[in-house]
Structures are given as C-alpha cells and as structure tokens.
Amino acid sequence: MKVENQVTLEFPSRSANEGFARAAAACFAAQLDPTLEEINDIKTAVSEAVTNAIVHAYPDTLGSVTMKLRVREDHVLEIVVKDRGVGIADVEQARTPLFTTGGEERSGMGFTIMESFMDTLKVRSAPGKGTTVTMRRKIARRAGR
C-alpha cells in the first residue's frame, strides 16, 4: 500500500507527552478531512497506544517512544507506536480484555479500545526488545470532496 505522506515523532516516555501525541495525530489526520467522530476515535486509539508504551514499556525508567503517522493510498491513516522497552512475553494474553501488568489503577482495556476504534490492530513484541503497535483506519471520503 503506497505511502502518500508521512511524519515521524520521537519523544520521552513522560505522561505529559500523551496529550502531545493525541494532538499531533489529530493534526496529521486532518489532511484527510475526517469527521469529528473519526478524529475522536483516532485520538482515543493513540492515547491508549502511547499510554501503554509509557506505563508498561518503561515501568521504572524513562525511555523513548516513536510514533509514525502515514497517509496511505485509499484514504487510509496508519499509526505506528513503537517503544524499546521491556516488551510483552505473551501478546495474545496482553490483548485479552481486563488483563494488565499495570496494577489496580489500570483497566486492562487498552488493546481492546484500540481495536474497537481502528479498522486493524497489529501488535509485535519481544521481551527485552520492545513493542510495536500498528493501527489503520480508513477515513470516509465526504460527498463533494
């Protein structure tokens, strides 16, 4: 699938950067003329992916989070969130609703939420090497555009 436009952002795994990532993704997606609902879905999915990287990838240290945003042919937005943190030993288990390694304050719904707001969700991870989350969402073309 051909890339029509892209941007890569890298930032420290500080919780303050979650809001930045949400806003950056929304601004980048704006070129596809999404509806407010589509923008909110994208922001929610990005928030979950970035928060997972901040909370779970680097539980006791500061690390780096990379977010790649791409517009692909056919009006498809692709978002890749990557960390080089602790990784996930069992991705299938981690994608199970309510499963969390983040303690009582975490719901364990991050992957489920990402999956519900995006068309596709892929998670690749290796213990000690980090995690890559790839999400895609086709943005509907509006009449007259």
Q: Is residue 143 part of a domain?
A: no
Q: Which residues contact 135 (CB under 8 A, 6 or more apart)?
A: 45, 49, 78, 79, 80, 81, 114, 118, 120, 121, 122
* Catalytic member of 17, 22, 52, 70: 52
CATH classification at residue 62: 3.30.565.10
Q: Is residue 122 part of a domain?
A: yes
17 tagged catalytic: no
* Catalytic member of 48, 70, 78, 137: 48
5 tagged catalytic: no
Q: Which domain holds residue 94?
A: 3-138
Question: How far is the first Cα of the chain from the last one, in angstroms, to the nearest whole number?
Answer: 22
48 tagged catalytic: yes
Q: Is residue 145 part of a domain?
A: no
Instruction: With CA atoms as reference, report the closest residue to 57 among 134, 135, 129.
Output: 129
* Catalytic member of 106, 115, 124, 136: 106
Give the whole-angstrom CA distance, residue 110 versus residue 104: 14
Q: Is residue 71 part of a domain?
A: yes
- What's the pTM? 0.88
How many domains would you assign to the chain? 1
What is the full per-residue pLDDT of the chain (145 aa) written as tens digits?
899 999 999 999 999 999 999 999 999 999 999 999 999 999 999 999 999 999 889 988 999 999 999 999 999 999 999 999 999 887 777 666 555 555 555 555 678 888 999 999 999 999 999 999 999 999 988 765 5
The beta-strand segments (E) located in 1-145 are 3-12, 64-72, 76-83, 120-126, 130-138
Q: Is residue 105 part of a domain?
A: yes
Q: Is residue 7 part of a domain?
A: yes
